[in-house]
């Protein structure tokens, strides 16, 4: 694998009436093609800020982000973002919400028929084919998130950015979508950078877990490699000593950073 997402020396500060607020400092992270990276930490540690910098929605004050040899300075279809809020357009059907992204990205390179086939293909990846003619108000929260994932995948991004995509869902729906995401990642081999507050989710899904120190001036505190074999089955992992070791390591980090915020 080759490094294709290079985050080097990234820091950002925001001007306030009192004094500049430093949200992030000296963040260094190299992500290989096909890796699944989770970013975890307490609220206010800059997780979403970092993802917005990678997504081109914010500009770093120091350092920068390089994707496949090109500096990230603005949003682009090579980085698709899935938010906790699905952000579907309520007046469009499931199919039309995905088609909107496909037409935007591939309007000049794919024929109308090819674009239609591509929309249907991505809906099938998230098992939403039968609901493609429904409107967002007619489907569940979990189904809406499936559509959001399909829309992001349909852009064929180099990096899929996910900001707590399952955070607002009930436990059972969340588990089903985690399993679906593992299957999609196995099939497509796409690069994923996901923010989560869920320790079990981070261990289940990730190749590496990036643990952020408390803010302000948050940075990467530790990184944990999750060398569990794939495909991963949650029921089998429940009694796996390695899984429980990784889980305990993340909990230890989060507890220590919470109890001793000055070490951040």
Residue 33: count of CB within 10 angstroms of its CB: 15
Residue 169's contacts (CB-CB under 8 Å, 6 or more residues apart) are: 141, 142, 145, 177
Give strand pairing partners of 39. 195, 210
Tens of pLDDT along 88-122? 999 999 999 999 999 999 999 999 999 999 999 99
Q: What is the pLDDT of residues 51-78, one digit of tens each?
A: 999 999 999 999 999 999 999 999 999 9
Which residues are 161's β-sheet partners? 81, 193
d(CA 22, CA 170): 34
The residue behind tokens 């290079």 is: 6
Maximum Cα–Cα distance for the chain, whole Å? 58
- What is the rounded CA–CA span in Å between residue 200 and residue 171? 12
Rounded Cα distance, 128 and 154, in Å = 13
Beta strands in 151-200 (DSSP E): 159-163, 191-195
Res. 2 pLDDT band, cuts 50 70 90: low
Question: Tell me: the pLDDT tens digits for 183-200?
Answer: 999 999 999 999 999 999
Residues 154 and 121: their CA atoms lie apart, in Å, by 9
Q: According to CATH, where is 3.40.50.300 located in the chain? A: 3-78+157-263
- Rounded Cα distance between 201 and 184, Å, is 16
Is the domain 3-78+157-263 a CATH 3.40.50.300 member? yes
Alpha-carbon distance of 245 to 263, in angstroms, equals 23
């Amino acid at each position: 694998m080759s490094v294709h997402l290079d985050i080097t020396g990234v820091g950002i500060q925001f001007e306030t009436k009192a004094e500049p607020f430093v949200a992030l400092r000296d963040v260094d992270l190299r992500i290989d093609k096909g890796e699944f990276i989770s970013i975890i930490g307490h609220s206010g540690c800059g997780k979403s800020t970092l993802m917005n910098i990678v997504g081109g929605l914010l500009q770093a004050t120091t350092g920068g982000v390089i994707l496949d040899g090109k500096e990230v300075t603005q949003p682009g279809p090579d980085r698709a973002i899935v938010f906790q809020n699905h952000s579907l357009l309520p007046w469009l059907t499931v199919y039309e919400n995905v088609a909107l992204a496909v037409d935007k990205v591939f309007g000049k390179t794919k024929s109308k028929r090819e674009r239609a086939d591509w929309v249907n293909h991505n809906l099938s990846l998230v098992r939403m084919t039968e609901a493609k003619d429904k409107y967002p108000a007619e489907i569940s929260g979990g189904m809406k998130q499936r559509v959001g994932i399909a829309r992001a995948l349909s852009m064929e991004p180099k990096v899929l950015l996910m900001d707590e995509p399952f955070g607002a869902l009930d436990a059972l729906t969340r588990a089903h979508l985690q399993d679906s995401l593992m299957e999609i990642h196995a099939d497509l081999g796409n690069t994923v950078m996901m923010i989560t507050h869920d320790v079990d989710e981070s261990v289940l899904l990730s190749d590496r877990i990036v643990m952020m120190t408390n803010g302000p001036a948050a940075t990467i505190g530790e990184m944990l490699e999750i060398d569990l074999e794939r495909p991963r089955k949650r029921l089998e992992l429940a009694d796996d000593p390695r899984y429980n070791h990784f889980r305990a390591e993340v909990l230890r980090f989060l507890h220590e950073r919470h109890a001793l915020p000055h070490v951040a």
